[in-house]
């Protein structure tokens, strides 16, 4: 009954126009970031989903579909990796506890993880070019603690946002808008309790320069569509034209992460300040970021973008791809290789050297950090 009413509502909405939309379980949670700090333990904790070729170093010419033996994402062909920071609750006594993640509605029963969208161009199903082998990119900047004035209402500013679910009834008012728009989304962490948890939205830029698979900043080979964000229009990220410098329209990638903040709603500090902090010591949310390493088999992503035209992005309706069961997805996991506790207990500090920095200036790295910087042989069991 509930499912039917959601679909009935969902199909009428402008924002459900995905080509494919799917859940992915957690692969591993640890201080790894093979894009920004290859070969080194990264400064802050990430949660990673996707193929199990993920590692401390991932060479750009690595054949990910070949060296991965499984993926935590819904489609067997997708051995890409996707990652983002982790959210912690800061207890008034100063300890930190990782906020659990739960799957979005209608993406299956995966362990934690995220929901990934590949969205076609607008008008509906405008042809897009799949990412080439070796492609990578980052959206967002973990050092930010404020939005520059020039960002206000820009497409880029709204690409990274947080949805404050009003209550447990996700068919309700707070699901009437596309991610990043409407009265329930903010570009900072919500400053009030959210009865149904917080959904973090990370859109990636859509337009490619056609030349570079990556750039030193992992960003400038890509650009957002031109124009000003119009909060009354769903998915404005796909509506504008690509700039002449970045003329090739790619699928727009969106990851959604649902932070289950509900257990913490009765533990807010007495002064009313919001108690959540991203793993790089960011209590503002302006440092929200996501990383993507393309790893689809052969031309499978292009075929899906060309032929899988379900508005809702239902995996089973995409005949070009092979759908994995929840069980197969949940079995794919990696043991963490950094020998430190990142979740499951109240920590005295965020892993790495990440004091909480409120800004508004950019965050600074701690000098002389003595946190663990080397990996050890995997012995621990993967975190749930
Ligand atoms: C990660 O890289 C290390 C060092 O090259 C290697 O020993 C290990 O097998 C790799 N792990 C995976 C899952 O590929
Ligand atoms: C995977 O790698 C092996 C060994 O290099 C090669 O023989 C095989 O064709 C590759 N498979 C695919 C699907 O690329
Ligand atoms: C803070 O409170 C948590 C939960 O009650 C507890 O586990 C932790 O030990 C406390 N930390 C400190 C530093 O007192
Ligand atoms: C809370 O966030 C809203 C939306 O961005 C903003 O208008 C308001 O000033 C904020 N309130 C506080 C107390 O920070
Ligand atoms: C951590 O602290 C919270 C808040 O007091 C408490 O509810 C929870 O049981 C603690 N968790 C662990 C694993 O110690």
Neighbouring CB atoms inside 10 A of 132's CB total 11
Ligand 2 atom 11: residue of nearest CA: 66
Distance CA 159, CA 170 (A): 22
Distance CA 211, CA 134 (A): 12
Ligand 5 atom 5: residue of nearest CA: 91
**Of all atoms in ligand 1, which is nearest to the CA of residue 334?**
13
Q: What is the pTM of this model?
A: 0.91
Q: Dihedral of the CA atoms 86, 15, 298, 60 (nearest 10)?
A: -40
Report the separation in Å between the CA atom of 190 and the middle of ligand 5, taken as the mean of its atom positions.
Answer: 22
Please list the pLDDT of the chain residue by residue as tens digits (384 residues).
223 223 333 333 445 456 899 999 999 999 999 999 999 999 999 999 999 999 999 999 999 999 999 999 999 999 999 999 999 999 999 999 999 999 887 788 788 999 999 998 877 778 899 999 999 999 999 999 998 776 666 777 778 999 999 887 665 677 777 777 677 888 899 999 999 999 999 999 999 999 999 999 999 999 998 876 665 665 666 778 899 999 999 999 999 999 999 999 999 999 999 999 999 999 999 999 999 999 999 999 999 999 998 878 899 999 999 999 999 999 999 999 999 999 999 999 999 999 999 999 999 999 989 888 888 865 555 554
| 186: its two tokens | 């903010």
| 181: its two tokens | 């728009």
CB hemisphere CA count around 176 (13 angstroms): 8
Residue whose token pair is 């949940």 = 330
Ligand 4 atom 4: residue of nearest CA: 186
3-state class percentages of the chain: helix first, strand second, coil last, to nearest 5: 15, 25, 65
Report the separation in Å between the CA atom of 277 and the middle of ligand 4, taken as the mean of its atom positions.
Answer: 17
Distance CA 283, CA 286 (A): 8
**Of all atoms in ligand 1, which is nearest to the CA of residue 52?**
13
* DSSP string across 7-53: HHHHHHSGGG-BSEEEEE---EEES--TTTSTTS--SS-EEEEEBTT
Neighbouring CB atoms inside 10 A of 221's CB total 21
């Amino acid at each position: 009954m509930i499912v039917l009413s959601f679909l009935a509502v969902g199909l009428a909405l402008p924002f459900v126009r995905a080509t494919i939309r799917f859940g992915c379980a957690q692969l591993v949670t640890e201080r790894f970031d093979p894009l920004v700090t290859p070969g080194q333990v990264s400064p802050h904790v990430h949660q990673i989903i996707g193929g199990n070729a993920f590692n401390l170093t991932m060479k750009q010419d690595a054949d990910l579909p070949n060296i991965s033996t499984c993926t935590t994402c819904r489609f067997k062909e997708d051995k890409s990796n996707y990652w983002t920071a982790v959210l912690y609750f800061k207890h008034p006594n100063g300890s930190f506890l990782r906020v659990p993640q739960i799957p979005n509605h209608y993406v299956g029963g995966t362990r934690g993880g995220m929901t990934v969208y590949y969205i076609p161009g607008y008008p509906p199903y405008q042809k897009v070019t799949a990412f080439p082998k070796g492609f990578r990119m980052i959206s967002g900047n973990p050092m930010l603690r404020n939005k520059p004035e020039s960002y206000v209402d820009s497409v880029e500013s709204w690409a990274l946002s947080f949805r404050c679910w009003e209550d447990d009834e996700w068919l309700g008012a707070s699901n009437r808008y596309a991610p990043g728009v409407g009265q329930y989304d903010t570009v900072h962490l919500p400053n009030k309790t959210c009865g149904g948890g917080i959904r973090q939205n990370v859109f990636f830029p859509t337009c490619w320069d056609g030349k570079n698979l990556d750039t030193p900043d992992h960003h400038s080979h890509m650009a957002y569509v031109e124009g000003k964000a119009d909060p009354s229009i769903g998915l404005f990220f796909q509506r504008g034209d690509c700039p002449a410098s970045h003329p090739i329209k790619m699928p727009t990638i969106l990851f959604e992460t649902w932070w289950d903040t509900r257990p913490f709603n009765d533990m807010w500090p007495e002064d009313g300040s919001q108690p959540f902090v991203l793993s790089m010591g960011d209590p503002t949310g302006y440092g929200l970021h996501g990383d993507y390493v393309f790893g689809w088999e052969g031309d499978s992503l292009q075929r899906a973008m060309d032929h899988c035209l379900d508005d809702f992005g239902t995996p089973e309706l995409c005949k070009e791809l092979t759908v994995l069961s929840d069980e197969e997805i949940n079995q794919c996991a990696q043991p963490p290789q950094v020998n430190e506790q990142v979740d499951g207990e109240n920590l005295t500090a965020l892993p790495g050297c990440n004091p909480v920095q409120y800004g508004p200036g950019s965050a600074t790295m701690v000098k002389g950090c003595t946190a663990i910087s080397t990996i050890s042989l995997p012995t621990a069991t993967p975190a749930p």
